[in-house]
């Protein structure tokens, strides 16, 4: 299991990979462009190629994340077109950097349609358009929602059903966020076996590519997306250790999105997670 964290690209894509290695990360996540904008970025392909080569040389896995405004379920045509162009741009950058894929949150419909299925249909339409002519290796990785601001995308059933309904499902995988899973109520820290069994039955685990590892500031079922440092939230280290060492998840790359200590880095927390996993394996 390769464990890492989110890093900045302020020093370029190669700089991000170097920053990850500097804190002993075996994986890292990055925003391929301004995280607060859907504007398409003209990126430095030489820098991206250098990032790819550096990661290959050091055995590092990278994954990109779409900007915050990205929403796959919108009915405003101008915003729809901006989002399609933005996500295609993210895929192109991720592919150039040699990244596993681009993480994007499951859609949140906030339009005026009264049909509860409209948001899902809009999302499927957008995914089809984004991926229609995509020929790169980078996948689009759908991330489960916590349920904050709407309950779309909290269940394995929704995630796998949307993937099955798009034209090119082979271009889509999944990203599992542990805080979101807990906050949604799908996982309560004690129902791991039942939860993973259901995920396996639905085919979710077969296409799961990366884990966002976060503790939660709020209880299971709160639908509040507030990350906490590992072992210092409502999930706790025992439940996190058990989840990470469960056979379906044990070989996946793990990305921390937890708070960074003032003036510090994720180095100590990465080491802590490695120790948690080692203790779990020893106990098994």
Is 258 in contact with 230 (CB distance < 8 Å)? yes
How do residues 160-184 score in pLDDT, each as one tens digit? Answer: 999 999 999 999 999 999 999 999 9
pTM: 0.96
Question: What are the Cα distances from residue 115, in Å, to 79, 111, 119, 154?
Answer: 20, 10, 8, 19
Band the pLDDT of 283: cuts 50, 70, 90: low
Full set of structural domains in the chain with CATH: 3-283 (3.20.20.150)
Q: What percent of the chain has pLDDT over 90?
A: 92
pLDDT of residue 226: 97
Tens digits of per-residue pLDDT, 189-231? 999 999 999 999 999 999 999 999 999 999 999 999 999 999 9
Report long-range pairs for 159-162 (Cβ below 8 Å, ≥24 apart): 159/106, 159/204, 160/202, 160/203, 160/204, 162/106, 162/120, 162/123, 162/124, 162/127
The confidence score (pLDDT) of residue 115 equals 82
**What local confidence, expressed as pLDDT, does residue 284 receive?**
60
229-254 per-position pLDDT tens digit? 999 999 999 999 999 999 999 999 99
Which residues neighbour 57 within 8 Å (Cβ) at sequence distance 6 or greater?
Answer: none
* 107, pLDDT greater than 80: yes
């Amino acid at each position: 299991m390769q464990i890492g964290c989110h890093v900045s690209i302020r020093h370029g894509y190669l700089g991000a990979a170097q920053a990850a290695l500097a804190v002993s990360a075996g994986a890292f996540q990055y925003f391929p462009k301004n995280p607060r904008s859907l504007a398409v970025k003209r990126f430095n392909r030489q820098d991206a190629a250098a990032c790819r080569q550096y990661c290959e040389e050091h055995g590092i896995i990278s994954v990109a994340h779409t900007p915050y405004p990205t929403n796959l379920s919108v009915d405003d045509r101008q915003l729809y077109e901006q989002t399609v162009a933005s996500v295609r741009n993210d895929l192109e950058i991720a592919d150039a950097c040699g990244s596993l894929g681009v993480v994007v949150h499951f859609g949140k419909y906030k339009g005026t349609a009264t049909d509860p299925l409209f948001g899902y249909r809009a999302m499927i339409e957008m995914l089809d358009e984004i991926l229609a002519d995509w020929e790169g290796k980078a996948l689009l990785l759908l991330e489960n929602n916590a349920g904050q601001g709407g309950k779309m995308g909290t269940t394995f059933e929704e995630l796998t059903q949307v993937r099955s309904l798009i034209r090119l499902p082979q271009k889509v995988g999944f990203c599992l966020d542990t805080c979101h899973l807990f906050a949604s109520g799908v996982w309560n820290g004690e129902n791991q076996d039942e939860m993973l069994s259901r995920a396996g039955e639905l085919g979710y685990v077969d296409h799961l590519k990366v884990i966002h590892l976060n503790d939660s500031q709020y209880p299971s079922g709160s639908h509040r997306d507030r990350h906490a440092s590992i072992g210092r939230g409502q999930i706790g280290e025992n439940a996190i250790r058990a989840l990470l060492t469960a056979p379906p998840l044990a070989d996946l790359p793990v990305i921390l999105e937890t708070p960074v200590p003032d003036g510090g880095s994720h180095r100590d927390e990465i080491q802590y997670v490695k120790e948690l996993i080692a203790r779990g394996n020893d106990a098994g």
